[in-house]
Amino acid sequence: MKNTILTLLLSLLVTGAFAQESEKDYSEAFTLIEVWLDAQKDFDNLPGISASVVEDQEVLWSGAVGMANKEEQVATQVSTLCSICSISKLFTSVAIMTLYDEGKLRLDDRVSDLLPAFDLEQKYPDSGPITVRSLMTHSSGLPREATNPYWTGPDFPFPTKAEIDAALSDQETLYPASTYFQYSNLGLTLLGEIVEEISGMSYEDYVTQRILNPLGLYDTRPDMPEDLWGDALAIGYSSVDRQGNRAKVNFFDANGITPAAGFSSNVTDLGKFASWQFRLRDTTTTEILKPSTLKFMQQVHYTDPGWSTTWGLGFSVYKGPNGTTWVGHGGSCPGYRSTLQLDLANKRAYSVMINASGVNPGKYMRGIYGILNKVKASAKKESDKDDAEQHELNDYVGYYSAQPWWSEEYIGTWDGKLVVIGLPTDNPADAMTMLKHVEGDTFQRMRDDGEPGETVTFQRNDQGQVVSYEQHGNYTRKMEE
């Protein structure tokens, strides 16, 4: 079993996409990311997961593990398509802002002036107007959903545009406009209808011709291609039941809710979409949007009274783990979870797709971020490198059983040392322990403050193969490959 996993990891290293030039050597970090994702796929009971990291205009890393179709044993690839659900809202928001750039609408236009079908009851007579801006910031006070029960399985009856519009008169506002943050798929759906009304084109044609094709996002579609389902398009699976099983989720079509939740894509195309944003922010030349317009979208336009939620025009805007401004969006549809997050200051973006419900793709994004961030920290400590560079560290690399106390450990190489990481872990960067070579098969654990700790001594069999290590007088055995 372990031999199969290590073979998979070597394959990932070969097939992963890397930037041609980098100021630091990330190869050991990439290996650790792939080890971690492969382990989490099993321990978190995921069918498949794909991920990509772009740095400005280059793909820094991409990889995939698991199955896009468990029944037919179709492997997940970085090219595997998934529903990206609410990340669709970013494309709708960009479409709206192309019309804004052309002077065809204003952000403070009333929705009722733009959409003849909009006759939803305003419950609060003293409310301010429901505007394009309030729809984009989820502060309009509209209900979260249209009237149809389209999130209800097994068949997910998404309504048509005509059905959505016909039922608007049966709905009413939840809050006065510009009072609270209330996430609204209905609101973003109406923005898609505004695109149609003003452009005179179908929403799907407008987004495809004005955004997707010009950016070369040929694997991104304003629909779920049913003819590719189970092959290029991953099958979605449910949350786990008490027996730990995930059921196959029926195919769905978002229909009239497409502007809010209907797109499919892969991590490669989402990386290209992020690279376009970095490129546009760094120029004075219009490409789809004016550079100033994208920057305007990625500023905070609404802050919830509780100060915990800040939103731009279509984008979530927040302070990231490194203290810089991040923007992005997540997606959650039946059988699929996804995220796209951009660190604007460092021009690095992370996309993750999982073909299962009940999981948080942000956990895997943060794990990848944390491991890569460790490279920056460790690369500065050139003085820490020692004769272990000449010592054959690869002898010790592999999986070790931590049973019954923990599941397992992986030992790999990191900046001239060994790195030990317990699996599974939600925070791989925090779980990394460094072992510095002393002599022979003896190492010392490095404390968080940089001081040496206890010794760790590896044992070999008669053939000279490493079979275990001793720490604190106890032994941890290497697992068979």
Neighbours of 246 (CB within 10 A): 21
- Same domain, yes or no, for 298 and 413? no
pLDDT value, residue 27: 96
Q: 390-436, pLDDT tens digit by residue?
A: 468 999 999 999 999 999 999 999 999 999 999 999 999 999 999 99
Number of structural domains found in the chain? 2
pLDDT value, residue 255: 98
Helix or strand (DSSP H, E) at 263 = strand 263-265
- Same domain, yes or no, for 394 and 307? no
CB 234 within 8 A of CB 251: no
478's tokens: 């290497």
pLDDT value, residue 389: 52
Helix or strand (DSSP H, E) at 89 = helix 88-101
- Same domain, yes or no, for 261 and 176? yes
Per-residue DSSP letter, 319 = E
Beta bridge partners of 81: 233
- Same domain, yes or no, for 123 and 264? yes
Per-residue DSSP letter, 255 = G
- Same domain, yes or no, for 301 and 400? no
| List of residues 6+ apart from 308 with CB closer than 8 A | none
Helix or strand (DSSP H, E) at 204 = helix 203-207
Output the pTM of the full model.
0.92
CA–CA gap between residue 382 and residue 386 (Å, rounded): 9
In a domain? residue 212: yes
In a domain? residue 140: yes
In a domain? residue 132: yes
Backbone angles phi and psi of 120, in degrees to 5? -65, 140
Q: What is the CATH number of the domain that holds 437?
A: 2.40.128.600
In a domain? residue 185: yes
CB 233 within 8 A of CB 190: no
DSSP code per residue over 355-410: SBSS--HHHHHHHHHHHHHHHHHHHT-GGG--GGGTS-GGGG-EEEE-TTTSSEEE
In a domain? residue 179: yes
In a domain? residue 320: no
CA 239, 241, 247 angle in degrees (round to 5)? Answer: 60
- Same domain, yes or no, for 294 and 417? no
- Same domain, yes or no, for 139 and 231? yes
CB 209 within 8 A of CB 200: no
451's tokens: 């001081």
| List of residues 6+ apart from 312 with CB closer than 8 A | 137, 297, 298, 299, 300, 301, 327
Amino acid at site 352: V
pLDDT value, residue 481: 72
Low-confidence ranges of the chain (pLDDT < 50): 1, 3-22, 379-388, 390
pLDDT value, residue 329: 98
pLDDT value, residue 383: 46
| List of residues 6+ apart from 250 with CB closer than 8 A | 153, 154, 155, 156, 334
Neighbours of 271 (CB within 10 A): 25
415's tokens: 């900046």
Q: What is the CATH number of the domain that holds 127?
A: 3.40.710.10
Note if the bond before 154 is cis, omega within 30 degrees: yes
DSSP reduced 3-state for 124: coil
CA–CA gap between residue 347 and residue 58 (Å, rounded): 10
CB 278 within 8 A of CB 56: yes
Provide the residue range defining the domain that includes 409: 383-477
DSSP reduced 3-state for 85: strand
167's tokens: 């039922």
| List of residues 6+ apart from 123 with CB closer than 8 A | 172, 173, 174
In a domain? residue 174: yes
pLDDT value, residue 339: 98
Comparing CA positions, the residue from 56, 79, 75 lying closest to residue 67 is: 75
CA–CA gap between residue 137 and residue 34 (Å, rounded): 36
In a domain? residue 354: no
- Same domain, yes or no, for 261 and 389? no
